[in-house]
Structure 1
């Protein structure tokens, strides 16, 4: 749409508040709000930036929606941005893309890491104790690895169960988690429910900000291990303690005297290229109760009109999109003014005090929020560096592929997914392949399977920005043959193990060993390899296991063993007593099975 087309469309628009959408072939490119629709849309005939000019050139229609008030336009804009995720807007990613920690609504609550919590607690941190009317959810968090470390430490310290309700019910003896010290087994009342509830309360207190409730026992255990000269264990506990102590950050003392407001939110913003992070701290009645970070995609310019770019634009977009579906706080502390008159009017009408503190404890809180935001945006920069190095549009979503077999037997393939540099295990996939001792053909078959599912709409995952093949030129060529045959247009590169060379269709890169973007590819490659080998071992065990060679273990006993433990790997981890508990297995046979495995 050229300038004349924009002016012509603007002539027919009303001089009322509302929302407009620039669209191309049915896709929303940009959503904006306006006090005067005709004036605002007409201003796009002379865009301020090259990026917005490209957006206008791509658009083939402009849709509008008239609202009664400017506040309605503000909130409608936020809803449309969330629904359509337009490329040229600053847009807040859905909280579901981040892991949360949930304590389920159960007589013996289960702790779990989830991206889709149950009930209405979703997306918000709960600080309630006692009897629950729903699950208690903490988060979202951006560093899944850190969350996993903390949850494991909490389970080892307080014994909160992690099993499903199905596995919990009807048990007559504790499972392996009890043997490993990860659970106190409320299922069989090895611990009474009242004592178990006290341990759950301790876990809640940790996520509410009481770091010492986990850090103190870890420190004591570390010191004891060092005194016993168990230095490897002490080092492991030291690393875990560091993770726990940095989980909540610092600055709690600054919260204690934040005014008289019931709830105060503090925002910090960091921008790296077209990525932005907003860190939010929540203080309620002088107590820090919540910390989270949110990722936004922040194009360099916001478009025509009076809105500014940079931090003010990110703040304005975040405030509306985040709080449109949440209760507003009594006060907002910001690093700088957001500069949006409509947002300011909305907050004022809702009775929210907005402050940009220059000194004192409030300023210290803003500095802490900025520190958290900068740490997060820096951690994701490796994705941008990788995209720049490979000269592709983006590398935020990377899928890694590897194959594993034993001289052609039990051939399998793995497909792992990383998002923003972190493993997205819910999007892992694996496939059994036709047995053949040919890595190239195996890789070709694996990629053909993935590409066909994507093209035919049978894969529920988004298309990745980049495919990483574990191997060298041969594996990459086989993968690209499969992509071309199916017609799936996604960039693909390979990472060779021997020299850590990155192979592309056009050239080979030898990046410095400390390059962050190389480390990202190595993590994806190593995880694809681990996942493939793990699946190969499972398939191999399914085909033939050492159980078949144990005297006294026939097909029925083998079936009962696998039915009881789920896999040969779990049989390996079981104690002799656990194995002996399976029908038809005596003490001698149990000991033989244990020694063979």
Structure 2
């Protein structure tokens, strides 16, 4: 294969066109370092290689550039779209990247004859009414509680609603008007739904006035019980309106976006106002955590600098030399709105604590919204108060994040010191994997593996293992199978293989002098703390269990030729009390009882509890799926189509079990005789 000609920077810059487009900074091994857009490619790319001041992050990136690639576009707005796509697909190391699943929850009022209110995620349709998006599931559920208290709308599934013979508990505690059993007429229920829709749309005062008028009319007609119910609704609605700090009495839809920087970190807080009601807020932190760590930190600074995006990226964080922090915040705000509003509802008003936006950004937002979007930088009146609250919340979230990060780093160092792995670095590369087994009396056995690295849990690297072919309830066999499946490929590659994972270290040969001396293992592994993120043997493998589980793990590692010094068991203390756990080692070291106040034990407990949570949730899902499918599959005459119809009709196996023979026979494809057989087999 012919060698690629050396990149001539001077010639490349001289030939750059003065046109809009996207540029890509490429490093060693074709690693994508940075993606940016420009109105004038020649000026923008050349500015990186001038002697002007650069933030530590950008200076570090420039040192690693080996070549630059460009793509010319028809306009700056088109370049912005391409830049956003390249950032999402390539995840360049030095771009601001706000990781978000874009799946925001809505409050849904269905198109049923007796509509229900529900928490909803997914695509919207025209048959139902949707309000939101909300910044969190908690905000949706809080709104549902308000509607239950004030308007008493139902929340049950349609399949449950159609098969009720008596009212549920919500009716008893006056959170539902009982339309399932005819406790309210269709007309009166429709009136409550209409009032709820207007309340969500911002007409709270109008709804309150109507309820008050109905209360007085009922009192004058001597219907005092009805008047008392309406009075209680007025009181509940009044409390809700009083609690809304951002209430305007109008139908304003707006997002308030505030960015703050402190301690080299950046936080963007998004507050949502829909129909004049504050739905809550959500804090976002760019991937990579820190914005511009000093270069003196070495590898830690490089890691902290990752995850940054935006146009005009030569700015430093607050308190650093170089261009003012306002430029950095402006870059972050533009990066956030471009990434956040990709496929998400764009409100007509954006209130921000930054400068005038790039025209291309505003044009892109308006294209996505299909209408004009107001970018308000200096709000007045109640909008100014909204922005002040958003900035305050961003500062609080950032302070909390910095405090938690410092505490987590202290826990990591405490554990590294306890295990003899502290090499003086910031320990960002210390990798812990933890295993746990979960089952219900041997049914649906599942093992979990969770990962801790860079001072945080890494959910994207979690794994579950469905355990098969063992005696039900045999936790030792389950652990053996999980460890073998996790590390067999790593052992096969070996350190001398051309495909060996980066940082893989083979265990010492039994013939090597001192190999049998277990106390040398921690010292020999110190250098592995800063190893790369490629697949490798972790620095610590936690086993949720005592000597028996650790012995099984030791046998597996011996069979695979892996270092048993990384194995650490977490044995329950006396009476299984938290804080009395004992750390058990597989290489002959004495067991350690860290103690209740040990920061190391806090980290061990955090990782172990996460492994337990991940295992038990997976086990329950697997068990429910197996039970739901198997009970029906065992019935002759119930195939996949009939099973699907039954589950859809009654909402699950419990609903089918609660149904009568007549109800079962009413399902398409289910005869009377088959319905009787289903009922008999399930009971």
TM-score range, shorter chain: 0.5 to 0.7
Instruction: For 1:80 and 1:418, locate their aligned partners in 2 and report how far apart those are by CA, in whole Å.
Output: 28
Mapping for residues 288-327 of structure 1, pairs under 5 Å: 288=277, 291-293=280-282, 295-297=284-286, 300-301=291-292, 303-304=313-314, 308=325, 310-323=328-341
Cα 1:534–1:69 shift into 2, 3 Å: closer
Instruction: For 2:663 and 2:182, locate their aligned partners in 1 and report how far apart those are by CA, in whole Å.
Output: 19
Aligned to 2:378: 356
Cα 1:145–1:348 shift into 2, 3 Å: closer
Query: How many residues of Structure 1 are paired with residues of Structure 2 in the alignment?
Result: 514
Instruction: For 2:189 and 2:157, locate their aligned partners in 1 and report how far apart those are by CA, in whole Å.
Output: 15
The correspondence for 1:373, drawn from 386, 391, 394, is 394
Aligned to 1:267: 257
Q: Is the 8 A contact 2:480 2:552 kept in 1?
A: yes
The correspondence for 2:613, drawn from 522, 527, 530, is 527
Please identify, of 195-204 and 64-73, the stretch whose mean Cα deviation from structure 2 is larger: 195-204
Please identify, of 492-501 and 76-85, the stretch whose mean Cα deviation from structure 2 is larger: 492-501
Instruction: For 2:338 and 2:37, locate their aligned partners in 1 and report how far apart those are by CA, in whole Å.
Output: 12
Instruction: For 1:7 and 1:382, locate their aligned partners in 2 and report how far apart those are by CA, in whole Å.
Output: 46
* 1:403 aligned counterpart, secondary structure: strand
Aligned to 1:403: 438
1:198-219 alpha-carbon deviations (Å, 9 max, x no partner): 55556656766799999xxxxx
Q: What are structure 2's unaligned runs of at least 5 residues?
A: 209-235, 293-307, 316-322, 413-425, 491-533, 665-674
Instruction: For 1:11 and 1:193, locate their aligned partners in 2 and report how far apart those are by CA, in whole Å.
Output: 75
Instruction: For 1:450 and 1:579, locate their aligned partners in 2 and report how far apart those are by CA, in whole Å.
Output: 49
1:148-198 alpha-carbon deviations (Å, 9 max, x no partner): 56647756873534437xx47xx8632899467587786787766555545
Q: What are structure 1's unaligned runs of at least 5 residues?
A: 120-131, 215-241, 455-462, 546-553
Instruction: For 1:8 and 1:504, locate their aligned partners in 2 and report how far apart those are by CA, in whole Å.
Output: 62
Aligned to 1:459: none
Q: Is the 8 A contact 1:266 1:366 kept in 2?
A: yes
1:16 partnered with 2:28: no
Mapping for residues 46-57 of structure 1, pairs under 5 Å: 48-57=54-63
Cα 1:365–1:33 shift into 2, 3 Å: same
Aligned to 2:516: none
Aligned to 2:163: 173
Instruction: For 1:485 and 1:190, locate their aligned partners in 2 and report how far apart those are by CA, in whole Å.
Output: 68
Q: Is the 8 A contact 2:13 2:42 kept in 1?
A: yes
Aligned to 1:443: 479
The correspondence for 2:154, drawn from 151, 160, 169, is 160
Cα 1:283–1:437 shift into 2, 3 Å: closer
Aligned to 1:219: none
Aligned to 2:466: 431
1:67 partnered with 2:73: yes
Cα 1:153–1:343 shift into 2, 3 Å: closer
Mapping for residues 201-212 of structure 1, pairs under 5 Å: 201=194, 204=197
The correspondence for 1:139, drawn from 128, 133, 137, is 133
1:359-406 alpha-carbon deviations (Å, 9 max, x no partner): 7533321122224434555676687457634366599x9998432354
Q: Is the 8 A contact 1:138 1:207 kept in 2?
A: no
Cα 1:186–1:439 shift into 2, 3 Å: same
Larger CA Rg, structure 1 vs 2? 2
Shift of 1:93: 3.2
* 2:376 aligned counterpart, secondary structure: strand
1:306-336 alpha-carbon deviations (Å, 9 max, x no partner): 7956533322322343456678666543334
Cα 1:333–1:48 shift into 2, 3 Å: same
Instruction: For 1:117 and 1:154, locate their aligned partners in 2 and report how far apart those are by CA, in whole Å.
Output: 23
The correspondence for 2:246, drawn from 230, 233, 252, is 252
Instruction: For 1:472 and 1:94, locate their aligned partners in 2 and report how far apart those are by CA, in whole Å.
Output: 35
1:6-53 alpha-carbon deviations (Å, 9 max, x no partner): 545433321222221224556643221223312322333368244334
Aligned to 1:40: 44
* 2:445 aligned counterpart, secondary structure: strand
1:491-550 alpha-carbon deviations (Å, 9 max, x no partner): 9987665445697999997685999978864763553465377569869989999xxxxx
Mapping for residues 550-569 of structure 1, pairs under 5 Å: none
TM-score scaled by length of structure 1 = 0.60
Q: Is the 8 A contact 1:451 1:486 kept in 2?
A: no
1:65-123 alpha-carbon deviations (Å, 9 max, x no partner): 2234444434443444344443322233345354444444555555444443334xxxx
1:413 partnered with 2:404: no
Aligned to 2:267: 276
Instruction: For 2:405 and 2:117, locate their aligned partners in 1 and report how far apart those are by CA, in whole Å.
Output: 34
Cα 1:332–1:118 shift into 2, 3 Å: closer
Instruction: For 1:61 and 1:369, locate their aligned partners in 2 and report how far apart those are by CA, in whole Å.
Output: 41
* 1:91 aligned counterpart, secondary structure: coil
Instruction: For 1:184 and 1:381, locate their aligned partners in 2 and report how far apart those are by CA, in whole Å.
Output: 47
Q: Is the 8 A contact 1:34 1:70 kept in 2?
A: yes
Q: Is the 8 A contact 2:448 2:611 kept in 1?
A: no
1:443-489 alpha-carbon deviations (Å, 9 max, x no partner): 343455678999xxxxxxxx99999967147657867968x9699xx
Shift of 1:300: 0.9
Cα 1:257–1:207 shift into 2, 3 Å: closer
